[in-house]
Amino acid sequence: MPTAISINGLDVIRGGRPVLRGIDLEIAAGCVTGLLGPSGSGKSTLIRAIVGVQIVAAGDVDVLGRPAGDPDLRRRLGYVTQAPSVYHDLTVLENLTYFARLVSVGRDRVEDVLERVGLTPESGQVVGTLSGGQTARVSLATALLHRPELLVLDEPTVGLDPVLRRDLWDFFHELAEAGTTLLVSSHVMDEAARCDTLVLLREGLVLATATPDELRRRTGTFDLDDAFLRLVEGVG
Amino acid sequence: MSTRTATLATASRVISQLRRDPRTIALLIVVPCVLVFLVDQVLAGRPEAFQRVGVPLLGLFPLVSMFLVTSITMLRERTSGTLERLLTLPIAKLDVLLGYGIAFAAVAAVQATVVSFVGFGLLDLSVGHSKLLVVALAIANAVLGMAMGLFSSAFARTEFQAVQFMPAFILPQILLCGLLVPRAAMAEWLQWLSALMPFTYAYDALARAARTTPLGPRFALDVFVVVGVTLLALALGAGTLRRRTP
């Protein structure tokens, strides 16, 4: 399977402390990769390095054959930040229309995306009046407009109810089947089971890269939560 | 996408945001009118004094209000994560700045026109040169205020800090620009200090436009400084927009 992201010897220092320590990582194209780890393990920093907004101390990050942050990637990559980064004083439609103009897509595409994230009925509503889950979907929608080859999502399901989370994960798999590469971070292990590949991060180091099944086999446990704990404790 | 499309998209987005906030618009338009009226009333017994400060005030209000509105709006864009997201998309930093510039210049044009109407139409201010010149200077000052607001937003972490920039940066300039006391009557060190402040030139241009005497070469210098500082603040402001952050 071709590689979408390739990272060599990545070091990041934030606030005087090493957050990522010599990360080497390959992420395959066309599948859903889960980036898992406890809070503070460096997930968001790794994601920021991949989308090219993080100042890095050392190492190479290659994304879709280009160095991270390359202007060419701005049309090929979709980034959904942890906190929804949309304009709360604009309506759903006004938000999408603005981002659509920036990435040169038309009104049809805006309507398709609205439909896809289930926000058509709310399109005229000001974002500030929406629920947390709806706001998160507006943020997701703005990242889908230009049909990115690579979609990077930082904890997209935080604060969503179980039904919405299931729907969102179904949607991620639909996108992957259509050829999109997805990198999704989460600190909830039950979401790990829905990924094709897992990257486990702890204290700025890659603890393991494996499919959910491999991880279960290596650690001799079915439950991925237990599997992760065993890895952390050096078993398996 | 051509740079111009992203600039216009940003300008219309900022205008839409302002339109959702009718109270801010009302404050932007109504407050300067009320203040000019108050100045007129305070100086009721001294029409020549109102004549002297009235016209410069018409042109200085837009500077102050645009400075405040822009620094807070831009600070929100920086702290809410939308700026970081925006800069991962095909948009140049200049598009962001010019988009804001066009949007606020449009608001300033409305503000300056309404305040001028109150000053010239209702309060009988007279002006030696063209009234349109005063409106044009007011718009130029608004854009100057906007550019300084964009730049200063980089130095505030919270909206509380941003609001404090008003007494810190703006008030000393109002005190020293010549509006309260002619600069020639100030101590020499104050004259030097005021020569370093953009407000001094903005005020002087307006005061010259109000008088019946010829504008003179000093007027050209005033306009040059106002435009120059605007461009400098925009360039410095662009420097504070970073695609990569620590």
Provide DSSP, B115-172. Answer: HHIIIIIIS----SS-HHHHHHHHHHHHHHHHHHHHHHGGG-SSHHHHHHHIIIIIHH
Write the pLDDT tens digit of every residue in A163-180: 888 888 999 999 999 999
Tell me what pLDDT residue B47 has: 84
Q: Does B23 touch chain A (CB under 8 A)?
A: no
- Interface predicted TM-score of the whole assembly (ipTM), two decimals: 0.86
Q: At what angle do helices B93-116 and B3-19 cross, to 10 degrees?
A: 50
Contact A94 B81 (CB under 8 A): no
Sequence-separated (6 or more) residues with CB below 8 Å from residue B97? B150, B234, B237, B238, B241
Range with lowest mean pLDDT among A166-175, B11-20, B45-54: B45-54
Please name the amino acid found at residue A87: Y
pLDDT band at B101 (very low <50, low <70, confident <90, very high): confident
Range with lowest mean pLDDT among A66-75, A191-200, B151-160: B151-160
pLDDT, mean over chain B? 89
* Chain B residues near residue A54 by CB distance under 8 angstroms: 244-245
What's the mean pLDDT in B47-75? 87
Contact B85 A126 (CB under 8 A): no
Tell me what pLDDT residue B1 has: 46
Whether residue A220 is predicted with pLDDT greater than 70 in this model: the reply is: yes
**pTM score above 0.95:** no
Instruction: Tell me how far apart the alpha carbons of residues B208 and B196 are, in angstroms, rounded to a whole number.
Output: 19
Whether residue B3 is predicted with pLDDT greater than 60 in this model: the reply is: no
Sequence-separated (6 or more) residues with CB below 8 Å from residue B42? none
Instruction: Tell me how far apart the alpha carbons of residues A175 and A179 are, in angstroms, rounded to a whole number.
Output: 7
For B114, which DSSP code? H
Q: Which strand (E) or helix (H) includes residue A21? A: strand A17-28
Q: Does B126 touch chain A (CB under 8 A)?
A: no
Q: Does B245 touch chain A (CB under 8 A)?
A: yes
Integer angstrom CA distances of residue A236 from A6, A25, A226, A229: 26, 20, 11, 10
Residues facing A175 on adjacent strands: none
* Chain B residues near residue A74 by CB distance under 8 angstroms: 88-90
Range with lowest mean pLDDT among A122-126, A230-234, B78-82: A230-234
* CA closest to B3 among chain A residues: A102
Collapsing DSSP states into helix, strand and coil, what is residue A105? Answer: coil
Sequence-separated (6 or more) residues with CB below 8 Å from residue B180? B174
Considering CB atoms only, which of A51, A90, A101 is closest to B20? A90
Whether residue B144 is predicted with pLDDT greater than 70 in this model: the reply is: yes
Write the pLDDT tens digit of every residue in B159-201: 888 888 888 888 999 999 998 889 999 999 999 999 999 999 9
* Chain B residues near residue A150 by CB distance under 8 angstroms: none
* Chain B residues near residue A87 by CB distance under 8 angstroms: 13, 17, 82
Whether residue A89 is predicted with pLDDT greater than 50 in this model: the reply is: yes
Contact B90 A102 (CB under 8 A): yes
Answer left, alpha or beta for residue A118, where phi above 0 means left and psi between -120 and 50 means alpha.
Answer: left
